[in-house]
Homo-oligomer: A and B are copies of this chain.
Amino acid sequence: MFAPVGTQASVKAVTPAQLHELGASLVLANTYHLYLRPGEKLVAEMGGLHRFMSWPNPILTDSGGYQVFSLAASRKIDEDGVIFKSHIDGSMHRFTPEKSIAIQENLGADIIMAFDECPPPHDKEYNLRALERTHAWAERCLKAKSRPDQALFGIVQGGIFTDLRRRSANGLVSLDLPGYAIGGLSVGETKEEMHLVLDELDPILPEDRPRYLMGVGTPVDIVNGVLRGVDIFDCVLPTRLARHNAVLTRTGRLNLVNAAYADDPSPVDEQCSCYTCTNFSRAYLRHLIVAKEMLAATLLSIHNLHTLLQLVVEIRQAILETRFDELAGRFIEQQESHNG
């Protein structure tokens, strides 16, 4: 499953109707952003996130942990939680595991995340401290949680260190959670390091619980993740690339602002069945970009989202037909021959 990201309760540049038509099921929204604006209490008053953003299908909220560490203007962390400065107006706020759960209960997503600390991937000592803290916080989150209609996932930390990852995963598995996320990847480590961590975790995480690789990814990262047991992915990539005039193909990217596309009557991808590719030429899309028409971001987002959502549909079908290894092998080979 690939989850488009609706950071501020909107998947950028597309309507929920378009998302639904694209076959999206799970959508992610960010606790940190929605807490700051418009505020989780307002969202609760408006009937919760599903009604607020008009997405009756599954929603996942993250814990706010990652954003506090990556976006907040400054932060101070202790065993109890984190004090941070809003990136919007500089105001001071405090997140604790209990606060993160209270916010996520007000938002009302179907899947909520335990509050975690996400350190730089190569600092072993920090990662050890962070995973111990993340484990203690996961226990507090589980205790604080009161809504029976929300599934709490724990987040495995430990950077690139397989021994730390094992330790983190074993601790969380002992809490018997309904799902497990793998955090702290796709944040500066190599592909090989990411794959080693996923390989290490594959036999530890229970087979009957969904595994969610946070913030990943590209088509090839998704294929490599599924090969290593991952079920759920989310990433801003498809919509962010679209706002930078870039389109995903199975084997790479095109930047449509290039003059080469000015008179190109072909669609972004001849094989693609999305609304954008079945209706518009590269020449038209480039014209929209050059003329600064908002429609460009919408049409490029539709194509990019379709590419990833369609990829996971094909992966799912291949798994059911026990030919996923073959699909993955071919896919990775194509990718390598394209890049080399």
Contacts and interface: CB of A to CB of B under 8 A. Distances in A.
Interface stretch (A118-126, A155-163, A289-297): A289-297
Interface residues of A, number: 39
A137 interface: no
A8 interface: yes
A188 interface: no
Contacts of A295: 10, 12-15
A320 interface: no
A90 interface: no
A12 B45 CA distance: 33
A265 B46 CA distance: 6
A52 B291 CA distance: 14
A64 B101 CA distance: 59
A53 interface: yes
A279 interface: yes
Contact of A299 (B15, B279, B287): B15
Contacts of A83: none
A294 B294 contact: yes
Nearest to A278: B54
A298 B15 contact: yes
A37 B291 contact: yes
A47 B263 CA distance: 11
A58 interface: no
Given A42-B262, A262-B42, A291-B37, A279 B54 contact: yes
Nearest to A17: B275
Interface string A1-40: 0000000111011111110000000000000010001100
Given A52-B284, A284-B52, A287-B37, A13 B294 contact: yes
Contacts of A279: 16, 54
A59 to B, nearest CB: 14
A19 to B, nearest CB: 11
A290 B37 contact: yes
A53 B291 CA distance: 13
A79 to B, nearest CB: 33
A263 B13 contact: no
Interface string A259-282: 000110100000000010001110
Nearest to A275: B17
B47 A262 contact: no
Contacts of A298: 13, 15, 294, 298
A137 B9 CA distance: 54
A226 to B, nearest CB: 31
A45 B283 CA distance: 10
A142 interface: no
Contact of A42 (B18, B263, B299): B263
Given A13-B295, A16-B279, A37-B287, 15 more contacts: A8-B293, A13-B298, A15-B295, A15-B298, A17-B275, A33-B291, A37-B291, A38-B290, A42-B263, A46-B265, A46-B281, A46-B283, A46-B284, A52-B284, A298-B298
